[in-house]
Amino acid sequence: MHASRVLLASSFLMVLALSGCGGSPSTSPTPGFKDPRDGQTYDLVKIGTQTWFAENLDFKGTGTDTVGVCSQFLTQNCELYGRLYNWAEAMGVASSYNGNMLNASGRVQGVCPTGSHLPSESEWLVLDSAAHEKAANLKSSLWNGNDSTGFGVLPGSSRQNTGYFNPPGQDAYFWNTAEVSSSNAAYQYFLATNSMISQASYYKTSALSVRCLVN
């Protein structure tokens, strides 16, 4: 984990502590997955039969080929919450598929580094089961959770298809690989006040977080 991310997380804890949040995860993430594209290293956590990134992806592309955006265009938001990606970016395909069916099958690496992939709908459901269908077990202790799994969800929020940013600190949204229509795709989400992990669909041109799953 980046030192700046640790510092920002510490600041986030100080703010939320005033609201009565606290606790610590019973499962500690382990460092060690290095993205060869930009050298960033991500913490990993094993939950049940799966090994997940314990942080949101923060890959912005290489050279002039950029992907994703920092919430509210603020670098510090990327450092704490990772980047927000539209669905085509998350899937690693042409932007035209934000308005057309891709019909992908099997494992999709997408924007995730080699050796990991964008989770499918069914893989998110496996995680949900391993967390006993309780959002608090996956949410960071910095954000209304006990993080007993070490998954560490933080409220990175989203960018709507209109371009408006829902401010960070409220909710967390994660793409999966499933399409609902030519213009809509599925995602998992966590709300500050909701005790369950939920799924819905929204415009592919909106921008959500990505959490990678190790192959």
Q: For the chain, give every domain's residue range.
A: 3-214
Distance from C-alpha of 205 to C-alpha of 186, rounded to nearest angstrom: 12
pLDDT of residue 42: 96
Tokens of 95: 């932007």
Q: pLDDT band for 78, please (50, 70, 90 cuts).
A: very high
CB 17 within 8 A of CB 143: no
Distance from C-alpha of 148 to C-alpha of 156, rounded to nearest angstrom: 20
Q: pLDDT band for 199, please (50, 70, 90 cuts).
A: very high
pLDDT of residue 17: 36
Asked if pLDDT for residue 144 goes beyond 90, the answer is: no
Q: Tell me which residue has tokens 């995602």.
A: 187
**The model's pTM:** 0.87
* Beta strand 171-179 pairing with 50-53: unpaired
φ/ψ (deg, to 5) at 43: -70, 150
- Residue 48 per-residue DSSP state: T
Closest CA relative to residue 205, chosen from 87, 78, 44: 87
